[in-house]
Amino acid sequence: MFDSLKLHDLAQKQLGTLRRPSRIKPTLWVVQENGVRAVVKDFSTNGALLRNTAGRFVVWREKRAYQKLRGVRGVPEMYRVIDGLALVMEEVPGRNLRDLDEGMELTEPFFEALKGLIEECHRRGIAHCDLKRSPNILMGYDGLPYIVDWGASIAEKEFSFFPLSWIYRRFLLDDSMAIIKLKLRHLPQSVPEEARLQYSRRSIPERIIRAIRNGLQKFFKSIL
Ligand SMILES: Nc1ncnc2c1ncn2[C@@H]1O[C@H](COP(=O)(O)OP(=O)(O)OP(=O)(O)O)[C@@H](O)[C@H]1O
Ligand SMILES: [Mg+2]
């Protein structure tokens, strides 16, 4: 699928842009072939430094996660990667949770489905690690949850020995905690006091990874 798509064709062939590139973010194109629509996350439009470092790295990480998660309901299918720089994936018809109307209530069944989806990804040995960012979770027009943006994910296999295995377990927990964060915003009455307390204690690995990521973002912003 999308086998003939080339990087330099994207600007002409696209149906639209979900997002224009910034200094540190890739372009998100929508393309269509034989009636199938796809989203392309494309670092080829970024500056050479970002493109060839973080860009290639993120595409490689994300591709690996999508391969492991193939067939999980709620994870878009990955069609292909173009030249190591652009990831072509199934378009999820829906809206990301950041774009939902302020104060819009989500239902208990939605959260149950999200919990099941996260658990299934964990069973496949992948922790997302960035689920607390609401743009990474979508509500499909079918009312079901979908998860995108697997570039920061880690695989259980890479973290199988202590102390990495301990860090991995914290990441699994942090993924699950994202549900509490979302519930606090969209269904607060369903969050018991105990869960609120648990949520307010941020794990050390999460703080470390966030600090590293923020540092890298600042670094790229300063040199680009
Ligand atoms: N497969 C998809 N189907 C539909 N929409 C998508 C898809 N992938 C991404 N999007 C939309 O594009 C937005 C950004 O995608 P993504 O999070 O993968 O990019 P990003 O570069 O990590 O951006 P950010 O840093 O803002 O999270 C998502 O919040 C979602 O609204
Ligand atoms: Mg994202």
Pocket test for ligand 1, best of 27, 58, 138 (most atoms within 8 A of CB): 138
Residue of 135, 133, 155 whose CA lies nearest to 62: 155
Residue 135, preceding bond cis, omega within 30 degrees? no
State residue 207's pLDDT score. 79
Tell me if 198 sits within 8 A of 184, measured CB to CB: no
Distances (CA, A) of 71 to 7, 17, 18, 46, 78: 26, 26, 25, 31, 10
Q: Closest Cα to atom 22, ligand 1: which residue?
A: 149
- Grouping H, G, I as helix, E, B as strand and the rest as coil, residue 16 is strand
Listed in sequence order, the residues at least 6 apart from 215 whose beta carbon sits closer than 8 Å to its beta carbon are: none
pTM: 0.94
Alpha carbon of 18 to ligand 1 centroid (Å): 8
> CA-based Rg of the chain, rounded to a whole angstrom?
18
pLDDT in tens, 65-84: 999 999 999 999 999 999 99
Closest Cα to atom 8, ligand 1: which residue? 148
Nearest CA to ligand 1 atom 18: 149
Tell which one of 28, 51, 132, 141 to mutate to probe ligand 1, the residue whose CB is within 8 A of the most ligand atoms.
28
Q: What angle do CA 45, 149, 79 make, to 5 degrees?
A: 75
More confident: 57 or 204: 57
**What is the pLDDT at residue 205?**
72
Amino acid 224: pLDDT: 65
For ligand 1, atom 30, which residue shows the shortest CA distance? Answer: 96
The whole-number average pLDDT for the span 73-101 is 96
What is the pLDDT, as a whole number, of residue 213?
A: 72
Q: Where are the alpha helices (DSSP H) in the chain?
A: 10-13, 48-50, 56-68, 108-123, 164-186, 193-200, 204-223
What is the C-alpha separation between 48 and 133, in angstroms, rounded? 27
Does residue 136's CB lie within 6 angstroms of at least one atom of ligand 1? yes
**Which is more confident, 211 or 96?**
96
Instruction: Judge if the beta carbon of residue 174 lies within 6 A of ligand 1.
Output: no
The answer, yes or no, to whether any atom of ligand 1 lies below 6 A from the CB of 97, is no
Taking a 5 Å cut-off on Cβ, the residues next to ion ligand 2 are 135-136, 149
- In the predicted model, is pLDDT for residue 185 greater than 70? yes
Pick the residue whose CA is nearest to atom 23 on ligand 1. 25
Measuring from atom 4 of ligand 1, which residue has the nearest CA?
92
Question: Residue 213: CB partners within 8 Å, gap ≥ 6?
Answer: 152
pLDDT band per the 50, 70, 90 thresholds, residue 143: very high
% of residues, the chain, pLDDT over 70: 99
Summarised one tens digit per residue, pLDDT across range 26-51 is: 999 999 999 999 999 999 999 999 99
Do the Cβ atoms of 130 and 136 come closer than 8 Å?
A: yes
Cα distance between residue 222 and residue 182, in whole Å = 32
Phi, psi of 92 (to 5 degrees): -90, 120
Distance in angstroms (rounded) separating the CA atoms of residues 186 and 7: 39
96 lines ligand 1 (CB under 6 A): yes
